[in-house]
């Protein structure tokens, strides 16, 4: 299979871009890139749990949006002229994540069009059990030039 990525990058550089953002605050780290997927981890800890000490659904969505958006950016033909913006995201929560675990999200494309991208993100616990399935739709738009 031909890799889908069109931009040069390293995992370290992708993680460096997230310093001083919500992504870093939640402990999200990109850990692996395959020919057609992007993988990241996130700890289930005081930053990402709800009061019952279970993984907060919003944290799962933040992980999903992070993966989908970064992956979408890496698939752009010309990052000087284009950018991706999220237009829709949904998530179905299937099982609870437990405090102390590290969950893993994997983003794979469902559609990579010139104007629209759609990504599916599956989030699992360390036992490989599926916790959440999310889908994000990204619009590919022209980057506004600084004046």
| Residue 110 belongs to domain with CATH number | 3.10.129.10
Q: What is the pLDDT of residue 145?
A: 73
**Is residue 6 situated within a structural domain?**
no
pLDDT per residue rounded down to tens, the chain (147 residues): 568 999 999 999 999 999 999 999 999 999 999 999 999 999 999 999 999 999 999 999 999 999 999 999 999 999 889 999 999 999 999 999 999 999 999 999 999 999 999 999 999 999 999 999 999 999 999 998 765
Residue 86 within any structural domain of the chain: yes
Residue 49 · residue 16 · CB < 8 Å: no
**Residue 146, pLDDT score:** 67
Cα-Cα-Cα-Cα dihedral sign, residues 108, 86, 75, 62: negative
- Global pTM? 0.95
Q: 1 in a domain, yes or no?
A: no
Q: Say whether 122 is catalytic.
A: no
Among 32, 65, 99, 147, the active-site one is: 65
Task: Specify if 37 maps to a domain.
Answer: yes
Domain annotation covers residue 147: no
Q: Provide the number of structural domains found in the chain.
A: 1
Provide the domain limits for residue 124. Answer: 11-142
């Amino acid at each position: 299979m031909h890799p889908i990525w069109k931009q040069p990058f390293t995992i370290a550089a992708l993680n460096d871009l997230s310093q001083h953002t919500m992504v870093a605050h939640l402990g999200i780290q990109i850990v692996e890139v395959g020919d057609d997927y992007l993988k990241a981890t996130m700890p289930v800890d005081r930053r990402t749990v709800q009061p019952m000490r279970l993984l907060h659904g919003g944290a799962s969505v933040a992980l999903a949006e992070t993966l989908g958006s970064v992956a979408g950016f890496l698939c752009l033909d010309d990052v000087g002229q284009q950018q991706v913006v999220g237009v829709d995201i949904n998530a179905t929560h299937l099982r609870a994540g437990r405090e102390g675990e590290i969950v893993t999200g994997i983003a794979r494309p469902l559609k990579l069009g010139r104007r629209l991208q759609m990504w599916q993100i599956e989030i699992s616990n360390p036992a490989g059990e599926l916790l959440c399935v999310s889908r994000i739709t990204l619009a590919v738009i022209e980057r506004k030039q600084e004046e």
